[in-house]
Structure 1
Amino acid sequence: MKQRKIPLRMCIGCQEMKPKKELMRVVKNKENEISLDPIGKKPGRGAYICNSLSCFEKAKKGKKLERAFEAAISEEVYNQLRDQLEGLDGS
């Protein structure tokens, strides 16, 4: 039986390649709204991050989301993303 290929994506926080299903997708749509995409199906430009706050903090400190989306990101958006990740992380 043929084994299915597992898609890999790089976490923008820790720079590790991981299976796509283990990562959280952050998406920027045509209206330049940035949000978490837990299912991975929203339309728009995506960047991937581990489900951990430490990777989120690394990405924020290094302005990696700004680079990925080629746009400035407000502190309010970072706070919303952190709150959503905290809910998923269980902490």
Structure 2
Amino acid sequence: MKRVPQRTCIACRVVRPKRSLVRVVRAPEGGVSVDETGKANGRGAYLCRSRLCWQRALGDRRRRSGGRLGAALNTTLSDQEWDTLWDYAQHLPDAVDGETDASEGQVEGVS
């Protein structure tokens, strides 16, 4: 039986199969972008395919740090990068199937 790689969403901290998450990468040249292939060179962070997780990870634009995502990638997001990622998130569903609000302390599959 083949092992399925697992990754943790940096926003809700739920462990999911790598393929079910979206990878955001900071390239060696310094740019931050969504990595659809999951194989781009650079430091990566994983997020659920949920608008709520993306909003949590990006944080408030006024802080300019990039929230949890900026911290995970060890960088500060530019306004353009933040806008691009925010726009990407707006096309995602509010929540992933079976997901509860992480602020309530609920974890998928645990009562």
- Shorter-normalised TM range: 0.7 to 0.9
CA RMSD in angstroms, aligned pairs only: 1.8
Residue in 2 aligned with 1:39? 37
Residue in 2 aligned with 1:66? 70
2:75 is equivalent to residue 77 of structure 1: no
Gaps of 5+ in 1: none
Residue in 1 aligned with 2:6? 8
Distance apart, 1:27 and its partner CA: 0.3
Q: Show structure 1 runs of 4+ deviating over 6 A.
A: none
Residue in 1 aligned with 2:55? 57
Give the AA of the match of 1:65.
Answer: L
Residue in 1 aligned with 2:102? none
For these two proteins, the number of residue pairs brought into alignment is: 88
* Distance in structure 2 (CA, Å) of the matches to 1:8 and 1:33: 25
Decide which structure has greater strand share.
Answer: 1
* Distance in structure 2 (CA, Å) of the matches to 1:42 and 1:86: 23
Higher relative contact order (CA 8 A, sep 6+): 1
Decide which structure has greater helix share.
Answer: 1
Cα 1:30/1:15, change in 2 over 3 Å: same
Distance apart, 1:90 and its partner CA: 6.3
Gaps of 5+ in 2: 60-65, 95-111
Residue in 1 aligned with 2:23? 25
| TM-score for both structures, normalised by structure 1 | 0.86
- Does structure 2 retain, via aligned residues, the 8 Å contact 1:12–1:59? yes
| TM-score for both structures, normalised by structure 2 | 0.71
